[in-house]
Structure 1
Amino acid sequence: MDNTTVVTFKMTAYEVMENYKHGMFSVFLLLYVITITLNSLLISVIHQNKELHSPMNVFTCMLSLNEIYGSTALLPAIMAVLISETHQVSVEWCKAQVYFLHTYASAEFCVLALMGYDRYIAICSPLHYHSIMSNSKVCKLIALVGLYPMIVFASFYSLTLQLRFCGKVMPKLYCVNMELVKNSCSKLQYISIVGLVLVFILIVPQFVIIIFSYVQIARVCRKLPKESQSNALKTCIPHLLSLLNYTFGSFFEIIQTRFKMSHVAIETQILLSLYFVVIPPIANPVLYGLGTQIVRVYILKLFIKYKILLTKLPKLKTAA
């Protein structure tokens, strides 16, 4: 078979939602609007206030930008396929979505590792924090985290671009690399092995950084007075919750992709596959916005100004 034999993939997971697709369209649209609004608001608040221009808040902005990137790569596409008659997508479009979603997932974990490192420096070396996390070093870390997932995944993605496809069934709401491999004519085993190596490269170093950071934080906190322990750990709570939330969703997505889950209801599989690209982008700006006192204060001031503006608006129209 030549490469033009299969030009579209059938997204079979959408068949489950066929009877209530318009309601689900509204749900996905609402989720997308909430995600973009919350993350944009957090970025705006941090950008507009110089007091918030600390390395940790800069990394928070990176996280929010990545949430917008991942959500935009997924949710509008889901809505478009959901209301289509055939629930099909082109092979080229599917390949593009694979790149977007996998780089989103990789970048998310890289940023979380960077934030864990920041907490380690802030708690374990507070007197040297500003010299260690200098502006130049922060810029280098931002560049590293931005480029590392894209370059590493691109080296593997070049293999995906060469695949020829005989199968045309994609049993998910979105395209993932392993499903492309399963639909390949050649069924190359080495691609699956290389994929596992890639997962190792994109997860293990970051995981080691996070584990090391929190082991050191725990060691230092044991020597501090209880009040200082409490204050130090409070600064870690948003990061830990974000990390656990994202790890939970990613773990189930990897399991679903690599192993057969015929014993699990298709509705459950759909919910689990959506978790890591829907819940963290909504939860993270809430955790870092409402979980940080100074950010909460600025958001509250912003809403008060907006409320005052709304109350003055009718008067301005009357005067005009």
Structure 2
Amino acid sequence: MENSTVPFYFNLTMFVNIGHYRYPAFVFCLLLYSFIVSANVVIILVISRERTLHEPMYMFIACLCVNSLYGSTGFFPRFLADLLSDTHMISRPACFTQIFVIYTYASYEMTILSIMAYDRYIAVCHPLHYHRRMTTKTVVNLMALAWIFPILIVQALIYLSARLPLCGNEIQKVFCANWNIVKLSCVTTVVNNIVGLILTITIAYIPLFFILYTYLQILVVCWKSSEEFKGKVFQSCLPHVVSFVIYSTTAFCDVALSRFDFAEMNPFVAIFLSLEFVIIPPILNPLVYGHKLPEIRKHILRMLSWDKIIS
């Protein structure tokens, strides 16, 4: 406790000095961010403009794309600025703001995927009751729960971390992360660990088991059904399964990485693994849904063809 402080700045130490290569890296990441914004905006516009797509499944896809924009915008602008900077200091308020955005983005991704799994479960296992259960009011309530609940948990997590006296200001990341700040604490962090465990269980494990359960039920129904029915279910469920697997894998890489000593790892590998969950899902989600769902693909091609005719 003697050397404890409340630093106003944190130093992000995982940035590697790549000299003049910072400029190609900056251009590449800027193009990547531009593609994420463009691809997700196209999906959102298509779903919002086409009345035939105003159904729960497509509305949830639009929410997933909105979350991709939210998470990538919470990460990329600061990351791009750091690529061109010789110092990588971030103020305490900006650091906790970034933690809030990235952690809520990660939580939203899981809660939205859970709602999408429930939607497919009702559509496949209880098709006669689908329109009675998945009403507009139900969809609104589910989305409100998906957005509000993570905010409350992440706010509690940040509040506890912000009160800790710290014995340093170096964060071994290219962005701010709550666990890295907690590790700098000069006092016991039992309460933080308990809240962190609750966050992990409620936002990660419960949705994970719920999604696995719903798809197990879908598989059971498909096993007893015709080939034509299996094909329709496969077409509507495959994009969601792909999104779920991609996000779960990238999130696991980031969680696992926090348990390793970065000094023993190749810095470029460590940076790539830590950035997967904020880069790969926002890139692949619009591609997966835009390519695999024929209704969305058809309207995208129609919109692009119309814009081409106008120009």
> Please, what TM-score do these two structures have when normalized by structure 2?
0.95
Larger gyration radius, structure 1 or structure 2? 1
> Contact 2:114/2:210 (CA < 8 Å) preserved in 1?
yes
Amino acid at match of 1:221: C
Moved more, 201-210 or 53-62: 201-210
Structure 2 distance, partners of 1:18, 1:237, is 43
Moved more, 252-261 or 42-51: 252-261
1:123 aligns with 2:128: no
Question: RMSD of aligned C-alpha atoms?
Answer: 1.6
> Contact 1:181/1:187 (CA < 8 Å) preserved in 2?
no
Q: Deviations over 1:259-308 (max 9, x none)?
A: 43544311111111111100100100111111111111111111111111
Identity of aligned residues (%): 35
> Contact 1:8/1:91 (CA < 8 Å) preserved in 2?
yes
Amino acid at match of 1:56: M
> Contact 2:4/2:166 (CA < 8 Å) preserved in 1?
yes
Moved more, 101-110 or 253-262: 253-262
> Contact 1:9/1:91 (CA < 8 Å) preserved in 2?
yes
Match of 1:135 in 2: 136
Match of 1:265 in 2: 266
Structure 2 distance, partners of 1:213, 1:288, is 20
Amino acid at match of 1:253: D
Equivalent residue of 1:198, what SS?
helix
1:18 Cα offset (Å): 4.2
> Contact 1:178/1:192 (CA < 8 Å) preserved in 2?
no
Question: How many residues get paired?
Answer: 310
Moved more, 98-107 or 225-234: 225-234
Structure 1 distance, partners of 2:84, 2:262, is 27
1:177 Cα offset (Å): 0.3
Structure 2 distance, partners of 1:5, 1:190, is 19
> Please, what TM-score do these two structures have when normalized by structure 1?
0.92
Match of 1:286 in 2: 287
Match of 1:30 in 2: 31
Match of 2:302 in 1: 301
Match of 1:226 in 2: 227
Moved more, 257-266 or 42-51: 257-266
Structure 1 distance, partners of 2:299, 2:18, is 41
Match of 1:318 in 2: none
Structure 2 distance, partners of 1:17, 1:8, is 23
Match of 1:191 in 2: 192
> Contact 1:166/1:185 (CA < 8 Å) preserved in 2?
yes
- State how 1:12-51 maps to structure 2 within 5 Å: 12-51=13-52
Match of 2:166 in 1: 165
Structure 2 distance, partners of 1:146, 1:94, is 22
- State how 1:149-164 maps to structure 2 within 5 Å: 149-164=150-165
Structure 2 distance, partners of 1:245, 1:9, is 31
Amino acid at match of 1:117: Y
> Contact 2:235/2:293 (CA < 8 Å) preserved in 1?
no
> Contact 2:247/2:281 (CA < 8 Å) preserved in 1?
yes
> Contact 1:13/1:270 (CA < 8 Å) preserved in 2?
yes
Equivalent residue of 2:60, what SS?
helix
1:144 aligns with 2:139: no
Structure 2 distance, partners of 1:254, 1:295, is 33
Structure 2 distance, partners of 1:31, 1:185, is 39
Q: Deviations over 1:26-84 (max 9, x none)?
A: 11111111111111110000000000011011101110111000000000110112212
> Contact 2:5/2:167 (CA < 8 Å) preserved in 1?
no
Match of 1:236 in 2: 237
Q: Deviations over 1:88-127 (max 9, x none)?
A: 1112211111111111101100001111111111111111
Equivalent residue of 2:16, what SS?
helix
Query: Structure 2: any 5+ residue segments left out of the alignment?
Result: none
Amino acid at match of 1:137: T
Structure 2 distance, partners of 1:174, 1:127, is 47
Amino acid at match of 2:33: Y
Match of 1:79 in 2: 80
Match of 1:215 in 2: 216
Match of 1:101 in 2: 102
1:7 Cα offset (Å): 2.0
Structure 1 distance, partners of 2:234, 2:161, is 43
